[in-house]
Structure 1
């Protein structure tokens, strides 16, 4: 009898342990889900203030863990996403420039476009570097001004690239326009989120 009682107590203790463990896991998952949902809502609300809110949300919604509910991290991540797309677009444009079949009239604009994208990459990289120093920096005003200037310059360079193909016809123009428009919109959204963060910073 005594031995049987010990076994039952051990079984009960083990069962309690399993239940407690499962409750802990469920609680952790609930907290993670809650934080992810809060971040997604924060991103959606913030993106509503940009010119292309749908693109803004879809481009940033997979980064909830990095963004959380921080306006600074949101702006920083949007810059990173824009930079990543500019780099891939520049590589695609370079491949296109070396492809056969490009019209002679398109060669000049394509080379100019590649130069503009190189400048854009440099400007966004510099902005990213400054963005990482913003938090509690005594030089906040100087840094945010530099960032806004560089991102604005990047946006101008991207538009200049696209303007070079104005009046041209053919598939190359359509490919360039589609790719450049995407990074123009991403960069514009990033600038809007940077400006929003700055307004909240006071």
Structure 2
């Protein structure tokens, strides 16, 4: 094979790799080394990118609904912007849950054991908000390992809240659904972060 034809056959591959490097997307994709590469569609709008990114995640519908407020940035949408938005959505959810917990703590009709579980959950969710705030800062500095570590700690906070209620024999956890949604939002954010180069 002539050198010029070898060069011509490798040029498309080189261009694809350059585009992946420019977009900050890891060619392994969100599902690991054996998954098809994640590639930003050519001339993609922000809505197209949101759909493509959310399509790689287990909780696609929640991802789509939580990222629908991402502003259209024009012709160069960025996976990093989606990751930051996903983290901020999870942070907002944790803050809302904290407010709900504070309201429940004012209910004097709840059993003391439930009040204690709620108080523990309040501490967990305050910590989760701090972890996610730190994650956003780490993401802007491209410290992806720190992002993953802190988001996982935030998930553990929700798990701690859930476990505190499971130890009670007083009926279902009044925060179970909120804990579940928060974990799913965090897992979606982690999935998007995996699309970025580590």
TM-score normalised per structure 1: 0.69
Does residue 61 (structure 1) correspond to residue 60 (structure 2)? The answer is no
Secondary structure of the structure 2 residue equivalent to 1:62: coil
Provide Cα deviations, 1:66-101, integer angstroms capped at 9, x if missing partner: 696211111111001111111111111111111122
- CA distance in 2 between counterparts of 1:66 and 1:95 reads 38
Secondary structure of the structure 2 residue equivalent to 1:147: helix
2:49 aligned to which of 34, 42, 54: 42
Report which of the two structures shows the higher radius of gyration computed on alpha carbons: 1
> 1:64 Cα shift?
3.5
> 1:52 Cα shift?
1.0
> 1:170 Cα shift?
4.2
Secondary structure of the structure 2 residue equivalent to 1:76: helix
- CA distance in 1 between counterparts of 2:188 and 2:108 reads 35
Residue 155 of structure 2: aligned partner: 155
Provide Cα deviations, 1:11-69, integer angstroms capped at 9, x if missing partner: xxxxxxxxxxxxxxxxxxxxxxxx8x721121112112222110011010121426962
- CA distance in 2 between counterparts of 1:169 and 1:177 reads 14
Secondary structure of the structure 1 residue equivalent to 2:77: coil
Maintained 8 Å contact 2:47/2:72: no
TM-score normalised per structure 2: 0.71
Residue 187 of structure 1: aligned partner: 186
- CA distance in 2 between counterparts of 1:52 and 1:64 reads 21
Q: Which runs of 5+ in 2 are unaligned?
A: 1-42
Provide Cα deviations, 1:109-131, integer angstroms capped at 9, x if missing partner: 11111111111011001111122
- CA distance in 2 between counterparts of 1:46 and 1:168 reads 41
> Whose helix fraction is larger, Structure 1's or Structure 2's?
1
After superposition, the Cα gap between the structure-2 partners of 1:69 and 1:148, relative to the gap in structure 1 and judged at 3 Å, is same
Maintained 8 Å contact 1:66/1:73: no
Q: Which runs of 5+ in 1 are unaligned?
A: 1-34, 135-142
